[in-house]
Amino acid sequence: MCVRTIVSWNSIMTACVESVWLSEGIEYFFKMRDCGFEPDETSMVLLLTVCAELGYLSLGRWVHCQLILRGMGLSVQLGTALVDMYGKSGALGYARVVFDRMEKRNVWTWSAMIMGLAQHGFAEEALVLFGMMSDRKSNNICPNYVTYLGVLCACSHAGMVDEGFRYFHDMEFVHGIKPMMVHYGAMVDVLGRAGLLSEAYRFIQKMPFPPDPIVWRTLLSACTVHDDCDRTGIGDKVRKRLLGMEPKRGGNLVIVANMYAEAGKWEKAANVRRVMRDGGLKKMAGESCVDLGGSLYRFFAGHDSRPDLMPVYDLLDGLNLHLRMVH
């Protein structure tokens, strides 16, 4: 393009965010600044969205500082993006400060705060906030599908099975929100984490639409924790369903092989591994990120001995040693 405007830059950043090209989204933001364009509210919201998805807390804090230095008012959109970024990055104290200081909040603001609390183990606080949100006298905000996902997540982490069923019922019959696949998956997680494997299996069978592989994988993972010897037979049923849907997904085969190994069925575990090897199937490498010194480092399963990463590995080794000493 010969002529670019702030709208042009925001459009390309939006495309990056929607296509999950998160690193490219960051690059375009700083290219825009280098070209002499001042970011507007939309630019800042987009960058905060990227930070939230990456867990890039230091960059998110920088954006927050820029908002303060520029005197940009804390609109509902900006405030919600900040709450979401801090919540997903685990900085719940900052998220709550921003949330409490917002003059206006919408359902997405409340949902972001509830989800952040739920995902980091603060189930009771999340449910209290949900009650405040729904209180007709003070806020009277009608929840949406994301709100209920956060509520069910809270119930799952707290082992609140009865409450989970109640919220799942209220979602449709009180607020008129038709449960989606992700909500059914959350309920399976509620039951699975509580060790109620048979109940979870029956719940899946009663779903109004065919369960996707994620739902079956959730239950299979619960079986590896609560019934590694498969005394109930649920694990074998789930295994057959999952492999029938995704026979070439390496991660599924790894779960199955580990189940056999935990149960002492070494020959079956070896057979599964052999199938993976002969078929050239591999589990996608686990990935994690570390925000260190303002830079985001991405790691995949397996050691990368690049010299520039050695200080990071030294830090991780120190943290590992500290955890061993504590426990």
For the stretch 273-284, pLDDT in tens is 877 777 766 655
Model pLDDT, residue 177: 96
Contact 256, 275 (CB under 8 A): no
Low-confidence ranges of the chain (pLDDT < 50): none
Model pLDDT, residue 258: 76
pLDDT digits (tens, 9 = 90+) for 83-101: 999 999 999 999 999 999 9
Model pLDDT, residue 307: 65
Task: Report how far residue 113's alpha carbon sits from residue 43's, in angstroms, rounded to the nearest whole number.
Answer: 22
Model pLDDT, residue 286: 61
What HEC string does the chain produce? Answer: CCCCCHHHHHHHHHHHHHCCCHHHHHHHHHHHHHCCCCCCHHHHHHHHHHHHHHCCHHHHHHHHHHHHHCCCCCCHHHHHHHHHHHHHCCCHHHHHHHHHHCCCCCHHHHHHHHHHHHHCCCHHHHHHHHHHHHCCCCCCCCCCHHHHHHHHHHHHHHCCHHHHHHHHHHHHHCCCCCCCHHHHHHHHHHHHHCCCHHHHHHHHHCCCCCCCHHHHHHHHHHHHHHCCCCCCCHHHHHHHHHHHHCCCCHHHHHHHHHHHHHCCCHHHHHHHHHHHHHHCCCCCCCEEEEEECCEEEEEECCCCCCHHHHHHHHHHHHHHHHHHHHC
